[in-house]
Amino acid sequence: MFAKLLALVVAALFVWTIAARPVVAHGPKTSYRVKPYDTLWTIAAAHYSGDVRDAVWRIQKENHLSGATIQPGERLLLP
């Protein structure tokens, strides 16, 4: 009984490791030119649903920003 259960668990893990792939649910990246008075918060709120803080973090990470300071005319990739 234990051997069958162990074999079933091992087989399930094997199938899961083969079938597991990263999900690309967000589609292609979009380029955005920063306008006067834009902030990462307002850009994230306008382009993403859900937690704005997470969207700000993703924009910072995608654009290798060390802080939240952006300048008008700057191009950002929106993941």
pTM over 0.75: no
* Residue labelled with tokens 């993403």: 48
pLDDT tens profile 16-52: 666 555 444 556 789 999 999 999 999 999 999 999 9
- Tell me the C-alpha distance between 1 and 24, whole Å: 40
Where do the domains of the chain lie, and which CATH numbers do they carry? 2-78 (3.10.350)
Helix H or strand E encompassing 4: helix 2-19
Phi, psi of 36 (to 5 degrees): -55, 140
Q: Alpha carbon 7 to chain centroid distance?
A: 36
43 burial (CB, 10 Å; 0-12 / 13-18 / 19+) is: buried
